[in-house]
Amino acid sequence: MTDPIPEKPKRRARYRGRNPRHFHEKYKEHQPDRYPDDVAKVIAGGKTPAGAHRPIMVAEILDALGPRPGDVAVDCTLGYGGHAREILAAVQPGGRLLGLDADPIELPRTEARLRSLGFPADSLVVRRSNFAGLPRFLADEAPEGADVLLADLGLSSMQIDDPARGFSFKATGPLDMRMNPTRGRSASALLSELGEAGLARLLVENSDEPHAREIAEAILRAHAREPLETTQALAAVVREAAARRLRISGDAASDLVRRVFQAIRIAVNDEFGSLDALLRALPTCLKPGGRVAILSFHSGEDRRVKSAFKAGLREGVYASIAEEVVRASAEERRDNPRSSSAKLRFAVRQG
């Protein structure tokens, strides 16, 4: 009887050129524990490794929240877990972090990442939900409320960079944009439901788009001829309309495409509705003297946070609020360009 022939080891996928360009090809960046030097080189170049996320304004958030040992902390947008990791460490010993995230793909990975750090098992409680589920989560886990609460409203790099999620126009992917791909309608399906006036209104409300009418008309005419089902197809239509009708090209055209994607993504996930629900619920979710910090990334979000905090201060709900918006340092903006648009506001519940 002859010995079985051993299987040949599988070789990694080949790619053109010296360096991988596509998300799925960057296997070293997806394995930071195995290739730390390569990941460090990517970060040193001012980029975010594929499949990872660099938390923004960590020191400023910790300063605003002031987490202490024994505190009950809430991270409403767990994401990659960068902020959660620092807050979880700060509330030890005896404290707990309650983490929420609506993304069913990234949440299990983040929970595993945080649990591998060696914190007590009962110090971390995770639930898949958006902001609307916060009051029920607290009722189950911390009826007295939270001492500190963070909401980072930005997309995680894992979501942006993965073409399969359809959030970015930098690579071809399905025109989806759902935080939870198993629920709701995709961006492509949303375009099939909207008229030109509705899409134009959405572009104005969600991204302050100055050319909303012209862009809405171009998008829906193209969608009627052939459904826009990929990110590149939508981006191409917007760029063509920018060039032919608005005489816009180059970086200005890219900014226009970015605003269109932002506006549609916000609508697909009802992000403003979820944020409004969170802002209404906040006072009942915080203990007396509890602190909240919210990190926003565009004017529509920041206006809502600013207005809610100011109204709460006038009504005596909050004892104090941030007098001015806090921005990332010049050094952080240089090292991590995705921090450039971040705006941090905080408030302290009346004692």
Whether 110 is covered by a domain: the verdict is yes
pTM score of the predicted model: 0.82
Same domain, 260 and 279: no
Q: Could you read off the pLDDT of 7-26 as tens digits, one per residue?
A: 655 565 565 655 555 555 44
Whether 164 is covered by a domain: the verdict is no
Same domain, 88 and 130: yes
CB 340 within 8 A of CB 332: no
Band (pLDDT 50/70/90 cuts) for residue 39 is very low
Same domain, 82 and 131: yes
Tokens of 85: 């990791």
Q: Could you read off the pLDDT of 241-274 as tens digits, one per residue?
A: 999 999 999 999 999 999 999 999 999 999 999 9
By residue range, what is the domain housing residue 314? 58-157+272-349
CA atoms of 272 and 9, how far apart (whole Å): 49
Same domain, 261 and 298: no
Whether 46 is covered by a domain: the verdict is no
Percent of the chain topping pLDDT 70: 84
Choose one of 268, 290, 318: the last residue of a domain.
268
Whether 162 is covered by a domain: the verdict is no
Same domain, 282 and 345: yes
pLDDT, averaged across the chain: 88
Same domain, 278 and 251: no
Choose one of 245, 268, 291: the last residue of a domain.
268
**Is pLDDT of 82 > 60?**
yes
Q: What are phi and psi of 200, to 5 degrees?
A: -60, -45
Whether 14 is covered by a domain: the verdict is no
Band (pLDDT 50/70/90 cuts) for residue 158 is low
- In DSSP notation, 231-295 reads HHHHHHHHHHHHHHHS---HHHHHHHHHHHHHHHHHHHTTHHHHHHHHHHHHHHHEEEEEEEEEE
Closest CA to 261 of 225, 233, 221: 233
CA atoms of 317 and 170, how far apart (whole Å): 43
Choose one of 242, 268, 294: the last residue of a domain.
268
CB 294 within 8 A of CB 346: yes
Residue 49's identity, in one-letter code, is P
Specify the pLDDT at position 27.
45
Total structural domains in the chain? Answer: 2
Whether 10 is covered by a domain: the verdict is no
Tokens of 46: 């001012």
Q: What is the CATH number of the domain that holds 123?
A: 3.40.50.150
Same domain, 132 and 280: yes
Same domain, 318 and 344: yes
Q: What is the CATH number of the domain that holds 234?
A: 1.10.150.170
Same domain, 257 and 282: no
User: Is the model more confident about 4 or about 294?
Assistant: 294
Whether 7 is covered by a domain: the verdict is no
Percent of the chain topping pLDDT 90: 72
